[in-house]
């Protein structure tokens, strides 16, 4: 029987050395230990926040191998296995399984704006190549593909290891639609609005915030499961304020560079982003001010979570 994934899973950054030329395995080790200490049930590597498009195939292999080894079974490791070319997605899936990953997160083929049949065939190929559980990743903003509840249900019926989805279409009602269309077989992970998603049937939360508030993001979902809705709503509101501060800047000042800068602010330096993303170091005083505003909220959030845990 496969293990069930539940709770808050961070889509984690890829730690780079100071010059960005290599993956920093020492920083990775400390970062994973932090996630374990915070009680995170799992992490997802090589997603959007993990800058998967900037890694060579050899780097991917070494990074997956190192992450699984350092996690050492203390938390789940899901690996992003997305590509615009089906053969590459299949290759990444097989490799992740061979290296000991617990599951996969796979976005549909991007750039081409594929048809439903093309998307189905892509996921079929990945499904046939591995026995690992597959988490679909529906993120129309980055892939230009919005997988409908009907398409998700079709894949759920046909592909035995497609049993999870990160639903990030910005339509929280889609959570309910997918649960209904699949008769509860598909396990939906919220991509945003975790409180509302939980109330509509989501079983987990996939988010970038675990990169700098792993205990608070884990606590949010624990509060929902335990029926502490006001606590969960308070944490969600404080997290939402991070997004507002980041969004005030240029669109390319996104979560990747801020996630890394904020991880460093919490004592876990993981380098900066690779181009073409705008590095935090290029944001100057504006970036520093935004980071410091967020850090002040993080401090309040951590105090709140500690107080709730002590009750």
* C-beta of residue 187 within 8 angstroms of C-beta of residue 165: yes
Calculate what percentage of the chain has a pLDDT beyond 90. 95
Task: Report the distance separating Cα 58 and Cα 64, nearest Å.
Answer: 10
The region, left, alpha or beta by phi > 0 then psi within -120 to 50, assigned to residue 101 is: beta
Task: Report the distance separating Cα 310 and Cα 306, nearest Å.
Answer: 6
Is residue 300 one of the residues assigned to a domain? no
Q: Is the pLDDT of residue 70 over 90?
A: yes
Q: Is the pLDDT of residue 166 over 90?
A: yes
Q: What is the pLDDT of residue 250?
A: 64
| Rounded (to 5) percent helix, strand, coil in the chain | 50, 15, 35
Q: Which of 9, 122, 166, 258 is catalytic?
A: 166
- Which helix H or strand E contains 206, and what residues bound it? strand 204-207
Q: Is the pLDDT of residue 121 over 60?
A: yes
Task: Report the distance separating Cα 35 and Cα 42, nearest Å.
Answer: 8
Q: What is the pLDDT of residue 248?
A: 84
CA distances from 57 to 24, 52, 89, 208 (A): 16, 10, 11, 23
Q: What is the pLDDT of residue 115?
A: 97
CA 212 from chain centre, in angstroms, equals: 13
Mean pLDDT of the chain: 96
How large is the greatest C-alpha to C-alpha distance in the chain, in angstroms? 52
CA 199 from chain centre, in angstroms, equals: 20
The tokens for 275 are 């181009």
Of 55-59, 133-137, 246-250, 282-286, minimum mean pLDDT range? 246-250
Task: Report the distance separating Cα 47 and Cα 49, nearest Å.
Answer: 5
Q: Count, in order, helices (H) and strands (E) of the chain.
A: 12, 8
Q: What is the pLDDT of residue 255?
A: 82
* C-beta of residue 162 within 8 angstroms of C-beta of residue 156: yes
Is residue 262 one of the residues assigned to a domain? no
Is residue 57 one of the residues assigned to a domain? yes
Q: Which of 122, 137, 205, 258 is catalytic?
A: 137
- Burial of residue 141 (CB within 10 Å: 0-12, 13-18, 19+) is exposed
Calculate what percentage of the chain has a pLDDT beyond 70. 98
Q: What is the pLDDT of residue 75?
A: 98
Q: What is the pLDDT of residue 2?
A: 74
Q: What is the pLDDT of residue 59?
A: 98
Q: What is the pLDDT of residue 113?
A: 93
Residue 109 DSSP symbol: P
Q: What is the pLDDT of residue 254?
A: 72
The tokens for 237 are 């509101």
Is residue 273 one of the residues assigned to a domain? no
In which domain, by residue range, is 36 found? Answer: 7-228
Is residue 189 one of the residues assigned to a domain? yes
User: For the segment 197-230, what is each residue's pLDDT rounded down to a tens digit?
Assistant: 999 999 999 999 999 999 999 999 999 999 999 9
Q: How confident is the model at residue 1 (pLDDT cuts 50, 70, 90)?
A: low
Q: How confident is the model at residue 91 (pLDDT cuts 50, 70, 90)?
A: very high
Task: For residue 166, indicate whether it is catalytic.
Answer: yes
> Quick one: three-class SS letters along 69-85?
HHHCCCCEEEEECCCCC
Q: Is the pLDDT of residue 78 over 60?
A: yes
Q: What is the pLDDT of residue 253?
A: 56
Which residue, chain included where needed, has tokens 């026995």?
131
CATH for 57: 3.20.20.70
Task: Report the distance separating Cα 6 and Cα 194, nearest Å.
Answer: 13
Q: What is the mean pLDDT of residues 78-94?
A: 98
Q: How many domains does the chain have?
A: 1
Is residue 98 one of the residues assigned to a domain? yes
Is residue 186 one of the residues assigned to a domain? yes
Q: How confident is the model at residue 280 (pLDDT cuts 50, 70, 90)?
A: very high
Q: Is the pTM of this model over 0.85?
A: yes
Q: What is the mean pLDDT of residues 125-151?
A: 96
Helix (H, G, I), strand (E, B) or coil at 164: strand
Task: For residue 260, indicate whether it is catalytic.
Answer: no
Q: What is the pLDDT of residue 3?
A: 80
């Amino acid at each position: 029987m496969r293990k069930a994934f539940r709770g808050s899973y961070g889509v984690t950054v890829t730690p780079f050395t100071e010059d960005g030329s290599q993956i920093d395995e020492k920083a990775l080790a400390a970062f994973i230990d932090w996630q374990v200490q915070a009680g995170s049930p799992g992490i997802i590597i090589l997603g959007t926040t993990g800058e998967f498009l900037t890694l060579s195939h050899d780097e991917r292999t070494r990074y997956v191998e190192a992450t699984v080894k350092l996690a050492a079974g203390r938390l789940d490791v899901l690996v992003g296995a997305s590509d615009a070319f089906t053969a590459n997605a299949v290759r990444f899936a097989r490799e992740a399984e061979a290296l000991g990953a617990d599951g996969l997160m796979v976005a549909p083929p991007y750039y081409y704006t594929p048809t439903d049949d093309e998307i189905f065939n892509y996921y079929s190929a990945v499904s046939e190549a591995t026995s690992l559980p597959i988490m679909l990743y529906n993120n129309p903003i980055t892939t230009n593909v919005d997988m409908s509840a009907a398409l998700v249900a079709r894949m759920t019926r046909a592909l035995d290891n497609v049993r999870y989805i990160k639903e990030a279409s910005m339509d929280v009602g889609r959570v309910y639609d997918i649960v209904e269309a699949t008769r509860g077989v598909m396990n939906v992970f919220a991509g945003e609005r975790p409180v509302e998603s939980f109330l509509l049937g989501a079983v987990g939360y996939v988010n970038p915030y675990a990169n700098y508030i792993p205990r608070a993001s884990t606590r949010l979902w624990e509060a929902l499961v335990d029926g502490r809705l006001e606590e969960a709503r308070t944490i969600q509101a404080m997290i939402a304020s991070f997004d507002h501060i980041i969004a005030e800047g240029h669109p390319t000042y996104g979560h990747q560079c801020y996630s890394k800068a904020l991880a460093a602010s919490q004592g876990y330096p993981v380098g900066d982003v690779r181009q073409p993303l705008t590095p935090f170091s290029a944001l100057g005083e504006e970036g520093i001010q935004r980071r410091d505003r967020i850090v002040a909220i993080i401090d309040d959030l951590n105090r709140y979570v500690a107080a709730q845990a002590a009750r």
